[in-house]
Structure 1
Amino acid sequence: MMQSIRFKVLLTAIESFIKNALNVQVKDELNSDYGGFRCPDHLVCEPWSAINTFATIAIIFLNPKSRYYHSSELLKSMKMALQFIKRSINDDGSMNVYFWGEIRTKSTLPFVLNTLMKSYRLLAKHNIDDGLINDLGTLIKRCIEVVKSCPIENSTQGLTIASALIDFDKLFFDRSASDKAISYLFDRVDINHDGMYGGKSLSISMLSNAMLLNIAKKLNRPYMIDYVRRNLNFVLHNFRQDGGFALDYMINAGMDYTKPLEYSVWKEMSIIDHNGYYATAGDMLVSSFINSMENGYINYRPNMPHVNNSFRDHSRFFLTSNIGEFLLVEDELNNEGVSRLSLPSNYVKTFIDSNIARFKNGKMNAILMTESENLFSLENGQAVISHFRIKYKYYGYHIFMPKKLEIAGGSYILRDWFYHNKDSENIVGISQANLIIQVEFVYKHDHFEVLVSATGEKGIAFLLEFGIKKIGTLSIDNKEHILGNADLIPMDGKEATIKVGSDIIKICGGIVQHKIYCDKSLWVRDIRNVNIVMTPITPFSNRFNIFWK
């Protein structure tokens, strides 16, 4: 029953996107973008969007429950879109992307090739228009020849190429493609014991999972599924109650363009392992996606705290264009027989190999991490500290980025040290460092106690910076600030209260001993957030607390 209801909701959402796509498609044959879909946000026709939209149109065109089933308008749209796609992929396999301005790149070809073959498989299976199928097949063959000679930039790209070559063999009976695919596979995948892939990106992780599942099934390599299982168990601890993801480096590291792939991975693995947690995760993910739809597009609203600000700079059309694949997953996979299990809502989880600690208490999510300038983030509902970072001025400007998370009793410790003369042959350890920095977090039932200390050379200026999402209000020193209008606020032993509706975070303590941060040429601020700063000078031991209500 749940699957049939979700199918209807998805169908409605996809049809609303199709209506938008038809409205923005360039139909003037004299226009160089003829057949493309002009993004209403960026006013460009992006090839990757067109490839995704072509697949979504094909899926809806072939679905008998859709009002667009076998629509002549959609068939014409697919033919126009394919002409644009063919013109957009150059002979060397490069294509233009517009995520951060116009960039010509080959790196996207393996990813879009998987989508093109998915479209070909559907259209060929239903024998829809020989001319369209032949044109698409010719394009795929041209792209495959380019992909065979592509240098491997990272393990995910290697897996994606291997998966594409295997699928090409299945579609076009080219054994040499599968043989080539095997040469891209290695005995080990770039994933640590915790289940974190080397790319440290949720999107890249799920791409890797999807490719590994495909390869495991088609080459009969079941051991590859264990990598997927390990990563999913890692990601499970990053879910929010509404199906989004808690703030951390995994969200900030990449664009959120793989939702249908993520859904297919959760759903298929729930069937393979009969795992109720995976099934629940998939349900939450697709519900979150549907809830973010507005007027036929994904709409990342300002009151969605878990969304990386940079996503709002990306095209809504692009991020919605592969929505049709959700329906394909619903058609091909049924996990109604898997009993759902509620995801854990109260835990402390430490990932030793990844140097990450995650904390969850109801709607409070927090993460502590190393090897990142963002050491800590916390969200309590919609009230959000998106980052806590430490900067200091000592023979230049530096950011505190410790390499290891140490755990002692109930304390989580980050430390690093700085040598003025790094080339000295006489330096043998921390005892000879010019500057020693230590941060200690202690987790309580309703707050974190934080102690930041720096010893060694005297008179070094530090900046302890909290990035607060520009949502709600901030009260400090009997003054209330509208966060949407604020910029930088120093606090000196006072209490800062962040409030969004009934969601509250309080920061208590801290000292202000200098105002170097006022010089914008010296300190680089994150203008997407309100910055609350503490500014001690060495030597210091600065204690403060972070409460949530």
Structure 2
Amino acid sequence: MNRRAFVRTGTTALCILPILHPTAFARARSTNPNDKPAWLLELIKANDQQLVAVRALRITDTANKAFGGLKDGEDIPNPHSTADFVRRAACAMSCKESEHYQSKALLSEMNGALNYLLKIQHTDGTLDLLSTNFHSTPDTGFIVKRLTTAYSLLANSGTPAMDGVLATFKTFLLRAGEALTVGGIHTPNHRWVVSAALTKMNNLWPNPRYVARIEQWLGEHIDMDAEGQYNERSTLIYSPLTNRLLITIARGLNKPYLLDYVRRNLAMTLYYLHPNGELVTEASGRQDKAGVGTPEGYFYAYRYIALADKNEEMAAMCRQIEKTLMPKSVYYVDYFLDDPSLWRELPPSKPLPTNYVKAFPKSGLVRIRRGPWDSTILQANPVWLTFHKGNAILQGIRLAASFFGKGQFQTETIEKQGDSWILTQSLDGPYYQPYPPDAIPADGDWEKMPRSNRKQSEVQRLQTQVTIRETKTGIEAQIQMTGTDGVPVALELIFRPGGSFTGVTKLPNRDNTYLLADSGTYTVQNDTITFGPGLMLHKGVQLRGALPAMDAPTVYLTGFTPFQHTLKLS
């Protein structure tokens, strides 16, 4: 599923769930390949624990028209929360290690949930994403992709008196399958969502119409660039999702060529990791842009390819996720219950890349990693540089000048020159002469006199160049702004909340706002970023035409054009 309606539910429900300590996953593994490994047993236990909070969202009033369904964090009954409960319940009921194994109570609740899904399913087989999409084939696909696995788990669970529930389940899925064979999509990944759902349907109930529709979508080819990134560049949400979907299609329809795309994306993602284990998200074209998140969504794909290829780097990535993120991986427990081949021991580990400079021009970024610190250079983005050092994080640097209301700096290119990276922008600010007399409208309507027909004069110009290079201990950015003189400039250093400063001056009447005259530090736990030298020639931090300040601790350096300053980070 992984949809916005469920995100609201998950945010509310999961915040009260017990979190398993990561060391619990370090227990010895079974030597019997038919036994579930310790990490999977812990996921089963975590799923049991989460079911307590999820079941509390059920609508139990028989007089309520949404009886049997589940509501989200805003008390809205919806198909996504309901389907997620069915999935979790099926996982629990199918596992002998679960306290809900073959549970009659859960079977009854699942039956109510499935009847609710049937009730709200449109006659064309589709469901709604109530926050935005209605009669939505893609959202139906998100649900079917997971519930087909839930159907199989339940069918193989041996739960007494499950036949009637399975019949209701099958009716719902077959109706949805009809929608998936004809319905349209919105985004690139939706094609693979629908195709993966149809693949799972075809595995249960073979149908040439399912396969024909899959082939039609696959005929558009996979949207991957030469660097291994999918079109949406969504490292936190849709790239890991697409990997899971392509594996599903490859397995179900015997299309091993699709795994090559997964391999390439997984290899690329190894260079999108910060030292603290978070993912680089600033280049995303979707809602996770600049979001904070970790790579548990890749665990299934990394494990699948590590075992299939005996790939030691991907095995190392799996072990890192197991060590630090397994409690977050419970959402994917059904993938592992569905494929016992993934229970095998991983191949040996090879160290992950931690010392590199790597450019990704298609995604518009450059990654620099040197052990405990890393930096990302970005194009076509008002945040053009980030710097991470353990838990101390400079989320971004922005630069603005009060130049005709359009002085927010961002570069369209990142050019490598020797050991430096060059970012540039050229702006002009013209004035306009009287409109050509023979073209003036009789009614004097300003909108009928476009500026393109007026001669320009007194044209002001502003050229900006930022040169970024490594130092022995970090990064430096040399900034030059020339052209029109006397333009106020503000350089903005935006830090992630949670730390403490030294060397900065609090700006009165503005929260989280500081000026830097000399050098400063930002410390979070045992990690410290040092930045400077400063510049404090005025207090104009919110310049006209600049983006609004972010709700985060922010340090400003201020000056005027011609502006030349070198900022060092370490």
Category of TM-score, reference length = shorter chain: 0.7 to 0.9
Describe how 1:102-501 pairs up with structure 2 within 5 A: 104=134, 106=136, 107-126=138-157, 129-186=162-219, 188-202=221-235, 203-240=237-274, 243-246=277-280, 248-250=282-284, 252-253=288-289, 262-291=298-327, 322-325=331-334, 327-328=336-337, 331-420=340-429, 434-477=461-504, 486-492=511-517, 494-501=518-525
Contact 1:436 1:454 in 2 (8 A): yes
Contact 1:260 1:326 in 2 (8 A): no
SS of 1:24's equivalent? coil
- The Cα RMSD (Å) is 3.2
Of 518-527 and 174-183, deviating more is: 518-527
Contact 1:159 1:212 in 2 (8 A): yes
- Residue type of the alignment partner of 2:565: N
* Partner residue in 1 for 2:90: 58
* CA distance, structure 2, for counterparts of residue 257 and residue 375 of structure 1: 20
* Partner residue in 1 for 2:562: 539
**What's the CA shift for 1:363?**
2.8
* CA distance, structure 2, for counterparts of residue 260 and residue 543 of structure 1: 38
The change in CA–CA distance for 1:227 and 1:346 in structure 2 (over 3 A counts) is: same
Contact 1:11 1:66 in 2 (8 A): yes
Larger radius of gyration: 2
Deviation above 6 Å: which 4+ runs of structure 1?
254-260, 422-425, 519-522
**Residue-by-residue CA offset, 1:286-317 (whole Å, 9 max, x unaligned):** 44333569xxxxxxxxxxxxxxxxxxxxxxxx
**What's the CA shift for 1:480?**
8.7
Contact 1:47 1:85 in 2 (8 A): yes
The change in CA–CA distance for 1:546 and 1:257 in structure 2 (over 3 A counts) is: closer
How does the TM-score come out when normalised to structure 1? 0.83
* CA distance, structure 1, for counterparts of residue 522 and residue 144 of structure 2: 46
The change in CA–CA distance for 1:343 and 1:163 in structure 2 (over 3 A counts) is: same
* Partner residue in 2 for 1:308: none
* CA distance, structure 1, for counterparts of residue 343 and residue 472 of structure 2: 40
Of 75-84 and 324-333, deviating more is: 324-333
**What's the CA shift for 1:25?**
2.4
Contact 1:247 1:378 in 2 (8 A): no
- Residue type of the alignment partner of 1:114: K
How does the TM-score come out when normalised to structure 2? 0.80
* CA distance, structure 2, for counterparts of residue 367 and residue 415 of structure 1: 16
* CA distance, structure 2, for counterparts of residue 83 and residue 366 of structure 1: 51
SS of 1:397's equivalent? coil
- Residue type of the alignment partner of 1:395: F
* CA distance, structure 2, for counterparts of residue 401 and residue 519 of structure 1: 16
- Residue type of the alignment partner of 1:237: Y
The change in CA–CA distance for 1:327 and 1:353 in structure 2 (over 3 A counts) is: closer
**Higher RCO (CA-CA < 8 Å; seq separation 6+):** 1
SS of 1:536's equivalent? strand
**Residue-by-residue CA offset, 1:216-273 (whole Å, 9 max, x unaligned):** 3333333322211111111011234554435644493398999775221111111222
SS of 2:228's equivalent? coil
Contact 1:246 1:379 in 2 (8 A): no
Of 405-414 and 139-148, deviating more is: 139-148
User: 1:11 aligned to 2:66?
Assistant: no
* Partner residue in 2 for 1:315: none
| Of 84, 89, 92, the match for 2:116 | 84
- Residue type of the alignment partner of 2:52: K
The change in CA–CA distance for 1:133 and 1:9 in structure 2 (over 3 A counts) is: same
**What's the CA shift for 1:66?**
1.4
* CA distance, structure 2, for counterparts of residue 89 and residue 253 of structure 1: 32
Contact 1:260 1:323 in 2 (8 A): no
**What's the CA shift for 1:69?**
0.8
* CA distance, structure 2, for counterparts of residue 226 and residue 144 of structure 1: 28
The change in CA–CA distance for 1:420 and 1:331 in structure 2 (over 3 A counts) is: same
* CA distance, structure 2, for counterparts of residue 135 and residue 278 of structure 1: 40
**What's the CA shift for 1:144?**
2.2
SS of 1:140's equivalent? helix
Contact 2:306 2:347 in 1 (8 A): yes
Unaligned stretches of 5+ residues in structure 2? 1-27, 30-35, 432-450, 454-458
**Residue-by-residue CA offset, 1:83-116 (whole Å, 9 max, x unaligned):** 3333444445242445xxx765724222222112
Unaligned stretches of 5+ residues in structure 1? 294-319, 426-431
**Residue-by-residue CA offset, 1:140-177 (whole Å, 9 max, x unaligned):** 22222223332232321112212222222221121111
Contact 1:206 1:258 in 2 (8 A): no
* CA distance, structure 2, for counterparts of residue 235 and residue 385 of structure 1: 21
**Residue-by-residue CA offset, 1:308-327 (whole Å, 9 max, x unaligned):** xxxxxxxxxxxx7x353365
Contact 1:417 1:433 in 2 (8 A): no
SS of 2:37's equivalent? helix
